[in-house]
Amino acid sequence: MREEEKKRTSQKSSLQSFFRKRWVFPAIYLVSAALILTAVLWFQGKNDVAKDDLKYGENQPGTATGEEPSVPVNQASENFKMPVIDEDAIQVFREFYDAEASAEKQEAALVVYNNIYSPNKGIDIVAKNGETFEVVASLAGTVTRAEKDPLHGNVVEIEHSDGVVTMYQSLADLKVAKGDVVEQGEVLGMAGENQYDEEAAIHVHFEIRNNGVAVNPIEYFGQSLTALEESEQGTEDKEAATKEEDKQPAEDKQPAEDKQPNEEEKPEDSKKPADEGTPADDEGSKDEEDANSNEEENAHSTDASIGMAKA
C-alpha cells in the first residue's frame, strides 16, 4: 500500500513539476489555437468548393424527378439553332414581319385569320415533303409552358437567362412538361396543324422574344444570347439618339422665335435713315424762306420806286 501511495505521490509531483515549467501553458495555448484555426479554414474551404460546384453547374439539384442532375442553362458555348434536326429537309414558309422590309415582303409575312391580317411575330417552318417532323429546343433552358391551345395547337415556351424566351407553336404532341430542364436539341414534339394558320398546313411556328418583344429568329441563328443583348442595347441607343434628334429642331426653333421680334424691329431701324434725312427737308424750308425774303425785298423795292414816282 505504501509503495502504491509513493508511486501516486511521485506521479503527482512529476505532473506538478511539469506544469510549473514556464513554456508548458504557452505551448498548450499555441497548439489549441492552431487546431481551432485549422478547423475553421477547413470548414470554410469546404463551403467555397460547394459554392464553386453550384456556380459551374456541378452537384446541382436534380430535375423535376429529383434523381438526374440538372442541365446547365444557357452555356456560353451555345448558339441559337433552327428548331429541327435536319435543316436540309425543311424550309421557311412564312418569314418574320419586318417593319423596315419592302412592301412585298411585308405582305408575304402577314397571317390571315377570320379575314384579319396580322403581322407574323416569328417564322413558320415546314418540311419540303409536306410531312411532319421533330421539333427540338433551339437553346437549353427551362420549360415554363407546355399545354394545348385551342387556336395555336400545342404550345411550348422555354425560358432562358436575361428575359429571353423561345416559343414553339402548332405542335401535334408534347414530349416535355412544365418545369422540365431541357438541353439544346432535345425533342419537344412533332410538327402539326392549327386553326390560326391553316394555310401553313403541317408546320411549327417558332419565336424568339427578348423581354417580351419578338425579334427576327433568322437574324440570330448561329449567334449567342450575348449578341441578342448587344443588339437590343444598340437598338435602345439608336432610339435614344433618334429622340434626341427629334428634340433638337424644337430647340433650334426657339432662338429663331426669340429673334423674330428683332426682325420685326428692323423696319423701325430702316425708318431711321428717313428720320435722319430731315435735314433735306430743312434745306427745302430754307429755300422757301430765301424765296419769301426775295419777294419781300422786291416788294419793298417796288414800293420805294412807286414812292419816288409820286414825289
pLDDT tier for residue 281 given thresholds of 50, 70 and 90: very low
| Angle ∠(126,127,131) on CA atoms, nearest 5 | 110
pLDDT tier for residue 273 given thresholds of 50, 70 and 90: very low
- Residues 51-103: pLDDT tens digits? 555 544 444 444 444 444 444 444 456 899 999 999 999 999 999 999 999 99
Task: Check residues 152 and 17 and name the one with the higher pLDDT.
Answer: 152
Whether 275 shows a pLDDT value over 90: the answer reads no
- Alpha-carbon span 98 to 95, nearest angstrom: 9
Whether 246 shows a pLDDT value over 50: the answer reads yes
Task: Let me know: does 192 contact 132? Beta carbons within 8 Å.
Answer: yes
The pLDDT assigned to 4 comes to: 65
pLDDT tier for residue 256 given thresholds of 50, 70 and 90: very low
pTM: 0.55
The pLDDT assigned to 32 comes to: 85
Whether 130 shows a pLDDT value over 80: the answer reads yes
The pLDDT assigned to 91 comes to: 96
Cell of 212: 417580351
Mean pLDDT of 252-256: 48
pLDDT tier for residue 240 given thresholds of 50, 70 and 90: low
Give the range with max mean pLDDT: 1-15, 113-127, 290-304: 113-127
The pLDDT assigned to 58 comes to: 46
Reference 188, options 107, 114, 134; nearest CA is: 134
- Alpha-carbon span 309 to 301, nearest angstrom: 12
Mean pLDDT of 235-245: 55
Mean pLDDT of 262-280: 45
Going from the C-alpha of 305 to that of each of 287, 292, 293, 294, 296, the distances in angstroms are 27, 20, 18, 16, 14
DSSP 128-174: TTS---EEE-SS-EEEEEEEEETTTEEEEEEE-GGGEEEEEEEESS-
Indicate the SS3 state at residue 17. Answer: helix
Mean pLDDT of 125-147: 96
Task: Check residues 32 and 2 and name the one with the higher pLDDT.
Answer: 32
Going from the C-alpha of 84 to that of each of 13, 33, 79, 168, 182, the distances in angstroms are 88, 63, 14, 11, 15
pLDDT tier for residue 245 given thresholds of 50, 70 and 90: low
Task: Let me know: does 194 contact 213? Beta carbons within 8 Å.
Answer: no
